[in-house]
Amino acid sequence: MPRILAISLSLLLLCSCATTPERSAIVPASELPADVQFNKDAGRGNWLFVTVRLESGEELPFFVDTGVTLSVLDKSLEPKMGKRLGSGTLWRFGTTQKVGIYAAPRLYLGSTRLITSKKILLHDLKEPSALSGRRVMGILGMDCLKHYCIQLDFEAETMRFLESHHLDTGQLGQAFPLTYRWNCPMIRQSALVGEQITNVWIDAGYAKDGALNAGLFRQKVEERTLRAQGEATNGSRFERAWLPNSVWNGQSYTNLIVGNESDLVGLRFLARHLVTFDFPKHTMYLKQRRASPLVDDDTEAASQFLKSLKAKGRLPGWPENDEGATYLEAQPDSQTYNFRKNGGSFTSHYRVIRGSKDQPWKLKNAWRTDQNDRFVEEYPLR
């Protein structure tokens, strides 16, 4: 199954909304859905998916996105939507797209009707479908989510809807006051790297750990010689970077993947915690459960195979006294995984393969690239 660790489509904002932080009253929902199971790979490189039902009974896979102002339906549903009400503009990290605006249909989780805006956006969701390796028919945005107190338990793979007035807040971890811009949540906090307090988006639709603004990203890449992932543009801008260690809000974290877009916290980082969004009371709670990222079973198995080779001294290009993380980033393609190991001025790459889930892993090839991702040499296999 195709899965990736970095998905870019997120922070979809309706540009006609207010551009200053908001703290207006939110009407909490009076009827709460039952607990909902979500996909196992949520926070492990993919979005968090739930099954949303139309009034006709048709079930549609939606992913949950606190970075989208209005909920979105796939354009293929347009024949069922009635008269088009107008056009809107979606903004995504500096790019804009025209979308259709329609009267929102009734949406249900289980037997419970969800509170949504009176309007909904229609957009072609082929790109997120291809990126996530599954059909995407909708995005559940803040027009809906803001009415609920929602807990995301990644260990139990469960989304819970809680009574906002009956929370045992002492069990929920650190509280972060929320403000809103374009109807989307943010906190006053330092970014995932750095000490300066700023506005940090809370974006559950951003699959990496988070992102830094361009200036901070450039500064930290230069200061700490982070291994940047992706193609450089204008000679200096990189799309992603790997942070082997970081301290945020007094807690230590390892193996963070951050983008070069805006100061935000994404789903891969949130998944290291028990997350409670008390949107009616403008508060987010984070209870750290692990410093390292969640990893799916196949990636973990491939990683353990590399560890076994390292223990036997058969992993080329890997220092024998290095006790660091086994993998930097895994990019699965069918039964093939590409692993990267940061070495400061270079990166070692390992491609492991297997014919099927029942067959053992094999190291197909290994090579080294420089800081600009240029090929340097192929390692001989031992």
Residue 276 lies inside a defined structural domain of this protein: no
Residues 86 and 146 in one domain: yes
Distance CA 125, CA 279 (A): 27
Residues 118 and 243 in one domain: no
pLDDT confidence band for 212 (50 / 70 / 90): very high
Residues 78 and 157 in one domain: yes
Residues 132 and 46 in one domain: yes
Query: What's the chain's average pLDDT?
Result: 82
- DSSP H/E element including 309: helix 297-311
The region of weakest confidence among 72-81, 110-119, 345-354 is 345-354
Q: Do 341 and 347 contact (CB within 8 A), yes or no?
A: yes
The region of weakest confidence among 56-60, 69-73, 249-253, 317-321 is 317-321
Q: Which of 106, 129, 164 is the last residue of a domain?
A: 164
DSSP designation for 360: P
Residues 32 and 154 in one domain: yes
Number of domains in the chain: 3
Q: What's the predicted TM-score (pTM) here?
A: 0.79
The domain that holds 255 is classified in CATH as 2.40.70
Residue 356 has pLDDT above 60, yes or no: yes
Residues 211 and 241 in one domain: yes
What are the tokens at 231?
């193609």
Residue 280 lies inside a defined structural domain of this protein: no
Residues 49 and 157 in one domain: yes
What are the tokens at 100?
């259709």
Q: How many CA atoms lie within 13 A of 283 on its CB side?
A: 12
Residue 288 lies inside a defined structural domain of this protein: no
- Residue-wise pLDDT tens digits, 233-276: 444 455 777 777 899 999 999 888 888 889 999 999 999 999 99
Residue 23 lies inside a defined structural domain of this protein: yes
3-class DSSP state of 219 = helix
Residue 287 lies inside a defined structural domain of this protein: no
Given this model, what pLDDT does residue 225 score? 44
DSSP designation for 335: T
Residue 57 lies inside a defined structural domain of this protein: yes
Domain range for 261: 177-268
3-class DSSP state of 128 = helix
Residues 159 and 243 in one domain: no
Q: Which of 104, 131, 164 is the last residue of a domain?
A: 164
The domain that holds 77 is classified in CATH as 2.40.70.10
DSSP designation for 90: E
Residues 65 and 138 in one domain: yes
Residue 35: other Cβ atoms inside 10 A:
15
The region of weakest confidence among 36-40, 139-143, 193-197 is 193-197
Residues 150 and 203 in one domain: no
Residues 35 and 121 in one domain: yes
Q: Which of 253, 268, 283 is the last residue of a domain?
A: 268
Residues 30 and 159 in one domain: yes
